[in-house]
């Protein structure tokens, strides 16, 4: 099935966007995390098309070469949320299902909670509701699991993460092909600024998110070493509509790449339940 490549301008930024699937299919917006761009969904998207769904994937702020504004503040969560809405507006998409992994999951929770007039349902992979993350940080080993963040917000993070051909990122599970775009001069700064803009200062206020009132699925792999079970499981407290918690045995943090069929199935199931 054909996939259309688009350059979508939102304000001063231009995003690399791919659209595909049946023209009469329900829209699904897929949001990637750190540090892999929208290519993380390459094995998911064709399965969604086979299920009759129409997809939008785009390289978000800092990942699209035309959307790399200067300054840490430009990567505040509110801007990331507005980018997703702006892309939908420019494409003329009034309603969509939203899917997010890792950082894309945080953006997706905020979209679903604050713009329920635009989204029919939510599937979050790995990343629980921000309030569930807050709860887990105080009652589980999630604080220890999240200790890597201090390294990501450091001034020399780019140098350390890209040293020796990105050995630290490769050890974390990033493939050589996924790493390649990040090796371009300045390409890693935008993605790291997601952490610098939102995990410094008043973090609680920045990440604060209302409960979600649209149908929601939380997908989590029990091999995830960065995001623990509690933050995923507790997300049900903050999902007030139909809710499903799906555990993928033996799957690590990289659900879109390593469990594409399972994730696609959960997305298709959630779309059918709407």
Find tokens 């623990």 and name the residue: 228
Q: What is the pLDDT of residue 202?
A: 87
Q: What is the pLDDT of residue 204?
A: 87
**Catalytic site residue from 83, 102, 135, 224:** 102
Whether residue 195 lies in the annotated active site: yes
**Catalytic site residue from 195, 224, 238, 252:** 195
For residues 81, 175, 247, 136, the Cα torsion angle rounded to the nearest 10 degrees is -60
Give the mean pLDDT of 145-167.
95
Q: How many whole angstroms separate alpha carbon 39 and alpha carbon 126?
A: 17
Residues 6+ apart with CB under 8 A from 108: 31, 98, 99, 100, 122, 123, 124
Give the mean pLDDT of 219-227.
96
Q: What is the pLDDT of residue 1?
A: 61
CA-CA distances (angstroms) from residue 56 to 61, 97, 272? 15, 10, 18
**Catalytic site residue from 32, 101, 129, 253:** 253
pLDDT band at 139 (very low <50, low <70, confident <90, very high): confident
Whether residue 16 lies in the annotated active site: no
pLDDT band at 201 (very low <50, low <70, confident <90, very high): confident
Q: What is the pLDDT of residue 140?
A: 84
Q: Name the CATH superfamily, with its identifier, for domain 3-273.
A: Alpha/Beta hydrolase fold, catalytic domain (3.40.50.1820)
pLDDT per residue as tens digits for the range 234-256: 999 999 999 999 999 999 999 99
Q: What is the pLDDT of residue 58?
A: 98
Whether residue 102 lies in the annotated active site: yes
pLDDT for 2 beyond 90: no
């Amino acid at each position: 099935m054909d996939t259309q490549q688009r350059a979508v301008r939102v304000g001063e930024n231009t995003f690399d966007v791919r659209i595909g699937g049946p023209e009469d299919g329900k829209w699904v917006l897929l949001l990637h995390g750190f540090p892999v761009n929208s290519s993380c969904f390459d094995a998911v998207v064709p399965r969604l098309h086979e299920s009759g769904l129409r997809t939008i994937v785009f390289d978000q702020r800092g990942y699209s070469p035309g959307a790399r504004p200067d300054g840490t503040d430009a990567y505040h969560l509110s801007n990331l949320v507005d980018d997703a809405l702006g892309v939908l507006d420019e494409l003329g998409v009034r309603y969509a299902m939203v899917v997010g992994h890792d950082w894309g999951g945080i953006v997706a929770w905020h979209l679903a909670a604050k713009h329920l007039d635009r989204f029919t349902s939510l599937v979050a992979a790995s990343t629980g509701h921000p309030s569930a993350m807050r709860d887990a940080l105080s009652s589980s080993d999630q604080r220890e699991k999240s200790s890597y963040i201090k390294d990501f917000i450091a001034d020399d993070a780019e140098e350390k993460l890209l040293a020796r051909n990105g050995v630290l990122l490769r050890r974390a599970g990033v493939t050589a092909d996924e790493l390649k775009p990040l090796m371009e001069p300045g390409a890693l700064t935008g993605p790291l600024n997601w952490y610098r803009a939102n995990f410094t200062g008043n973090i609680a206020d920045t990440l604060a998110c209302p409960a979600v009132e649209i149908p929601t699925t939380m997908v989590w792999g029990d091999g995830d070493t960065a995001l623990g079970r509690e933050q995923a499981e507790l997300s049900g407290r903050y999902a007030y509509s139909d809710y499903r918690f799906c555990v993928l045995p033996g799957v690590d943090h990289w659900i879109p790449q390593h469990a594409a069929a399972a994730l696609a199935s959960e997305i298709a199931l959630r779309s059918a339940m709407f």
